[in-house]
């Protein structure tokens, strides 16, 4: 009668939250959180968007999307398709001055965060 059923002698459920707390957030995550909390991420995104519109990059990407849509058919394209179509060209065609300006702004934020 004192014999225990095997079904209640199962190993305890691993405590996921405790394990996660042991992992330290990376520097990247910390900076990302600071960037979001301070609003700097939104400002940087807006600045980049503005610069990319001014230089015609956005129009070029929209043109690529239209061409792909024309080829595939309006109802047969997904957002994923369009992202995959324009990402390689989009990353490669950012003008150097725009990239330099944004990198400078990011480095300034990193420097101000480090102090």
Q: Which residues bind another protein (CB under 8 A)?
A: 27-28, 31-32, 35, 41, 44-45, 48-49, 52, 58, 61-62, 65-66, 69-70, 74-75, 77-79, 82-83, 85-87, 90-91, 94, 99, 102-103, 106-107, 110
Instruction: Quote the least distance from Cβ 3 to another protein, whole Å.
Output: 59
d(CA 6, CA 67): 65
CB nearer to another protein: pick between 25 and 45: 45
Reading the block at residue 54, the tokens are: 């001014």
CA-closest candidate to residue 52, choices 14, 5, 65, 44: 44
State the minimum distance, in angstroms, from the CB of residue 32 to another protein.
8
Hey, what are 20's tokens? 């996660």
Nearer to another protein, 8 or 91 (CB): 91
Minimum separation from the CB atom of position 43 to another protein (A):
11
Q: Is the dihedral of CA 32, 35, 39, 41 positive or negative?
A: negative
Q: What does the block give as tokens for 90?
A: 């989009």
Block residue for tokens 């979001």:
36
């Amino acid at each position: 009668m004192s014999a225990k059923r095997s079904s209640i002698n199962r190993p305890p459920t691993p405590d996921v939250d405790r394990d996660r707390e042991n992992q330290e957030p990376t520097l990247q995550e910390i900076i990302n959180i600071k960037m979001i909390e301070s609003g700097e991420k939104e400002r940087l995104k807006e600045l980049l968007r503005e610069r990319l519109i001014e230089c015609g990059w956005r129009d070029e990407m929209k043109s690529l999307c239209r061409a792909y849509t024309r080829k595939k058919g309006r109802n047969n394209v997904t957002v994923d398709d369009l992202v995959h179509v324009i990402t390689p060209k989009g990353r490669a065609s950012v003008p150097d001055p725009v990239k330099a300006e944004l990198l400078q702004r990011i480095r300034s934020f990193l420097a101000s965060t480090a102090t």
